[in-house]
Structure 1
Amino acid sequence: MNTHKALTLLAMAVALTTPTFVSATSLWHEPSHGDGGAIFHPEHFKSTKTRADVLRELEAARKDGSLWYLERSLPVPVKNATPGRTREEVRNEVLNLTVEERRELHMIGGR
């Protein structure tokens, strides 16, 4: 049996057995009578947050402006709390690297 055939059989076996792994306690699962299609069951969701926690998070998102981005499914811009380093600071940092640190940087960079 060649590798392609073995991988094809394995993929088919996984595809056929995957529905058996669906739990009846998950949010989405197949109906028991086998009509097909998944049904959403919100009552199976267990939250660790209280309503007050969610409202506090919502108010914080409104205040910091991130709610506008979240409502539009956009990434929230990262706010830099500290000023960045200057070109001279970065240059001095590179010049003062030890031999071991330089070797590690070259290994990370793939050189």
Structure 2
Amino acid sequence: MTVRTFLTALSLAAVAAPALASSVIHPASTEMGYTTHPEHAQAGKSRDQVLAEMEQSKKDGLWQYHRFGAPVPVKGKAATRDEVLADLERSQKHPSWALRRVGAPVADVPTLK
């Protein structure tokens, strides 16, 4: 069992090593625990690309959501109450419903009108 654990740890280290080598921060056995290598940083978007995306977001009206870090609303057709209830009933009939359900039963959903 010890040999198996050692081989597993060795294989995980071999897989992780290239990923760590390509990052800016590398682990080190110093007091700080890491070293930084800015030359390993990969180029991202240019300033012009970022400004163009920001202008497009302002035109689309999504800038207000991005500005506050709020989730962007999904464009599309909203489901009706009947469609949601039909989907709920279909889900409740699935064999794994009882295993995934948390909280009170949802079969007796009050009707709001």
TM-score bracket for the superposition, by shorter chain length? 0.3 to 0.5
Q: TM-score, normalised by structure 1?
A: 0.46
